[in-house]
Amino acid sequence: MRPVNGIPFSCAPVGRFCNLLVAAALLILLGVPFAGAAGLKADESAIVFPTSAHKEDGHWLIPLHGWLFELEEDSWWRSTLMDVLLESLGASQETITQEPFRSRARMFLVDNERGKQLALTIGGQQVTTPPSGANGHFSTTLRLAPESAVGKSGQWLGVSIDTGNSGANVTDGRVQLLAERGVSVISDIDDTIKHSEVLDKSALLANTFLHPFNPVPGMASVYRKWAEAGAGFHYVSASPWQLYPALSEFMQDTGFPAGSVHLKTFRLKDGTVKNLFASSDKTKPPVLRSLLRRFPQRQFVLVGDSGERDAEIYASLAREFPGQVTAIYIRKIDDNDVSSHRLRAAFTGLPKSRWMLFTHASELPNRITTR
């Protein structure tokens, strides 16, 4: 056992990082005051995540989700946590000032703003969000005016955050108005559209914090063709919300079509810290079911990879929603042997025409249509 900044540890690299996160959580509990339910200050930030709306009784229903926080970099516990993360990555102290490490790591070290509300404008209507929770996040469902007064199916509406005169740093949101009928693509992110090496935890740490995100060749081109044909997109991943800014920039720069984003809640102050690198078995299915139930007349194409449990999760949903899940595409990741036994077990009872294992994006169809 040897100390880092006076804190002893003797576990594997990922374990050391997570153990220090737990220790840092105790410091937050003791030292960080809660924010009041007031407007944003100049040193605070807010993000409204991209989402999709569905119609009910002629009105648009929008599930809104956002995050309020303050970027904090000058404190001894953050410095300690940075040192442990660097040691876990085998990186030098100089890495702290370098990109992409600096911008990604600092999102895990923010002060979450509790009890804050945002004033938003959507489709010409002004709304106020509920107070943010202890993790700085808020979620609510908004019921907007009838379609004719807001926008037509397929359109994207801006969600603007009113900062008053504070000059706060904000990331405005977007909402896509999805028609009751049509095709939606639910896509995984890690090892499906970008190389992450989820099965190698040390490589995953490095790809998460040290290296530029590397797209899977050809996937953006295929997705753009599907979007041009009218498909809507929903990106669902076990990556934490702290990576949203980096993922959003990556997807824009590499040409992936816009869509709603659904990531995992992760917080230093509670037990979810141990789930930073956990499987998506528990986090993905509820999100996928919610999407399928919100759009009962739309048909869905599910795209994932063979690294963890996408095949099993998607096959289970296809059996649960046989009229909606029309196709499942599983990317075979490098150096991962997808046994015929595992696939037969996962897709038992599903016609072979409903699922496909692929290695290269060129094997995917250029168009996806309803049955």
Tens-place pLDDT, residues 264-322: 988 655 554 456 667 778 889 999 999 999 999 999 999 999 988 999 999 999 999 99
Superfamily of domain 182-363: HAD superfamily/HAD-like (3.40.50.1000)
Mind listing the pLDDT tens digit for each residue in 140-166? 999 887 655 667 788 999 999 998 878
* Angle at CA of residue 56, ends 234 and 171, nearest 5°: 45
The fraction of the chain above a pLDDT of 70, given in percent, is: 81
The pair of structure tokens assigned to 288 is 């996928």
CATH, range 45-70+112-177: 2.60.40
pLDDT of residue 141: 94
Looking at the chain, the whole-number percentage of residues with pLDDT higher than 90 is 56
74-88, 226-240, 301-315: least confident range: 74-88
Local structure of residue 352 (DSSP, 8 states): G
- 185 contacts 303 by C-beta, under 8 angstroms: yes
pLDDT at 160: 95
Instruction: Please report, in angstroms and rounded to a whole number, the separation of the first and last CA atoms in the chain.
Output: 60
pLDDT recorded at residue 336: 57
How many residues are present in the chain?
371
Q: Is the pTM of this model over 0.85?
A: yes
Burial annotation 31-47 (CB, 10 A radius, 16+ → b, else e)? eeeebeeebbbeebbbb
Q: What is the DSSP letter of 256?
A: P
pLDDT the model gives residue 319: 96
What are the domain boundaries of the chain? Answer: 2-31+72-109, 45-70+112-177, 182-363
DSSP string spanning 71-127?
A: ----SHHHHHHHHHHHHHHT--GGGGGSTTHHHHHHTTS-EE--S---EEEETTEEE
* pLDDT, tens digit, 9 for 90 and up, residues 16-58: 555 555 555 544 444 343 333 346 889 999 999 999 999 988 8
| pLDDT higher than threshold 60 for residue 1 | no
